[in-house]
Chains A and B, each alone.
Chain A
Amino acid sequence: EDQVTQSPEALRLQEGESSSLNCSYTVSGLRGLFWYRQDPGKGPEFLFTLYSAGEEKEKERLKATLTKKESFLHITAPKPEDSATYLCAVQYTNAGKSTFGDGTTLTVKP
Chain B
Amino acid sequence: GAVVSQHPSWVICKSGTSVKIECRSLDFQATTMFWYRQFPKQSLMLMATSNEGSKATYEQGVEKDKFLINHASLTLSTLTVTSAHPEDSSFYICSASQVEVDRGRWGQPQHFGDGTRLSIL
A interface, CB within 8 angstroms of B: 31-32, 34, 36, 41-46, 49, 51, 87, 89, 91, 93, 95-98, 100-103
Nearest residue, chain B, Cβ from A30? B107
Q: Is B78 at the interface (CB under 8 A from chain A)?
A: no
B interface, CB within 8 angstroms of A: 2, 4, 6, 32, 34, 42-44, 46, 49, 91, 93-95, 97, 105-115, 117
Apart from A43-B115, A102-B42, A103-B43, what are 11 other A-B pairs with CB-CB below 8 Å?
A34-B109, A41-B91, A43-B93, A43-B113, A43-B114, A46-B112, A91-B106, A93-B106, A96-B106, A97-B34, A102-B43
Q: Determine the main DSSP class of A at the interface with B.
A: loop
- List of B residues within 8 angstroms of A31 by Cβ: 106-107
Task: Looking at the assembled complex, report how far the CB atom of B29 sits from the nearest CB atom of chain A, in whole angstroms.
Answer: 14
Say whether, besides A43-B6, A87-B43, A96 and B111 are in contact (CB < 8 Å): no
Q: Is the CB of B107 within 8 A of A91?
A: yes
Q: Is the CB of B107 within 8 A of A46?
A: no
Alpha-carbon gap, A31 to B111, bound state (A): 17
Q: Is the CB of B43 within 8 A of A32?
A: no
Say whether, besides A43-B95, A101-B43, A32 and B106 are in contact (CB < 8 Å): yes
